[in-house]
Structure 1
Amino acid sequence: METLENSELCFPHLFNASCRKPKRSQTEAVVIFILLSFVSLLTVFLNLLVIISISHFKQLQTPTNLLLLSLAASDFLVGFLMCFQIMLIDGCWLLSDRVCVTYQYFAYIITAASVGTMVLISVDRYVAICDPLLYSTKITMTRVQICIAVIWFWSFAFQTMNLGDNLIEPGRYNTCIGECIIAVNYIAGLADLILNFIVPVTVIVVLYTRVFVVAVSHARAMRSQIAAVTLVTVKRSEIKAARTLGVVIVVFLMFFLPFYFVTVGGEDTVINFSTAAFVIFMIFSNSCLNPIIYAFFYPWFRKSVRLIITLKLLQRDSCEANLL
């Protein structure tokens, strides 16, 4: 009986100090392992394709694609962070408390940077579609690079303040050995909700609503045959952008809302992997979908993938290839 009870502990030799493993069948553990491993590998692979494409082919190095590169870089890192989630399938954290806090600290930073980059993408598309004549002067490579740097610095600084207590004393909120818990103060959680979710979502919705209105007006002009030929060309891209708008916003809200509901659910929200595994998985899965939503709809991406897979990018002057 004692042996059976010890087998349910994360660290049997520590007896009462050890956390207990959650009751989970072997079949369930295998399914979870396969699912997480697949999502992790797919996230790394898809975002790596985006990174290589934009970094290698000069024709793709535009302000818009630079934003996609930033988003792909953050999602690429998320794919690696999922390895830690895979380690927790049996419900036990086998590494140190400092590694636990560091893992979640970087997860917070990357998530905030990803959301910020999505806002920049919405601004870029708004200017391109609603004010195309001034796009080249308003949206430049230098300005985009500065905005990306600001987003990443803000994410780093804010999350350092948000998780300061956890960083100073790792494991202070653990109740037993084998647990990985961070605590977010209610005020800090509320600030995170407002600054890293409500404000970005509001900006995205407002800007894309304007894009949708412009696209609809152009579609009506095309049906009435009032628009000029040059306007028809712009109009088609706008309609395509409006068509993907619903997918972008719905997926973003669906995958991020559960997490923010959890973080502000009480006066002091404690996040552990046993109770928050689902919302963490939702956020990670969104990183797998981002390259599909933002990149797979572009013909140039399909062309670059063919060149990468066939290793033609290793040929001389392949970076000059015509992909548009």
Structure 2
Amino acid sequence: MKRIGIFYFSGTGNTEIIARLLSESYERKQIEVELFRIEDIVTHKKSFAINDFDMIGVGHPVLGFGASGITDQFARMLPSCPGKKTFVFKTASSPHYINQGASATVIQAMEEKGYQIFHNSIIAMPCNWYIKYDDQLNKQLYEAAVKKVEKIVVDTLNEQEQHLKINGLLRKLLRFLYYGEEHYGARYFAKGLAASANCNRCKKCVRDCPTHNISETKGQICFGANCIWCMRCIYACPNHAIQAKNLTGCVLDPYTGGFNIDQLLNNPRIDGNYVTEKSKGYYKHFIKYFKEAE
């Protein structure tokens, strides 16, 4: 029996949804799967032996055209493993060409250690930053993702190669923008974070922050500068108590993807038929994506 290890970082739950769908699909095919959260590996909360797996998968959200610093850190700390079959998957608010190079730094770091990255894919999921999608579209994206996952599973088990290419100059420009967002934009955003009177000091945000950027000091929730702008603290707070004072437009209220997607999937009044053949403007580029998932 094959064993697959799936390592993923998920800010607000979209990538975790895909990782779990992948795991369930592999297991239906009698493949043993073990899931690892990347932050648990980076912080040494969980260990693993890379040779225990016949194949590994690495997943991450597209954050500012990149893979996020924590995913890059994971790739750099992996042990050398020449020839290890590896697939990469990423989630983004759009399957647009501009997001295809988001895994470049992760792939480069792993290939330098001998990993054989043979399959690279992108799955569109609900947007969690600046643009609030209609709930019909969010449900439509999830339903398409289920089908996309099945294809990824079949392709990876058959070792079918798939590579996402992007213009080299554009990739460098996007990398520059991503660096600015994560190192400057995220820090500015974090400076404006504060817990409101709704906070009951449950410290969920303290425990769950992937970069340990949140702490409790003298009964107050405090935010540092080591933020990667993943939005987890805001969207996962059970009391909706974390508020942003800087760049407030990036926060969606309510956010119905990721952690909160069940309310969509279980709502029969939402039919998941938002993008059609007649769609125009921004949503027109989704038509091809949904057709490929049929």
Bucket of the pairwise TM-score, normalised by the shorter protein = under 0.3
Identify the structure with the greater helix proportion.
Answer: 1
Identify the structure with the greater strand proportion.
Answer: 2
TM-score, length basis structure 2? 0.26
TM-score, length basis structure 1? 0.24
Determine which structure has more spread, i.e. the larger CA radius of gyration.
Answer: 1
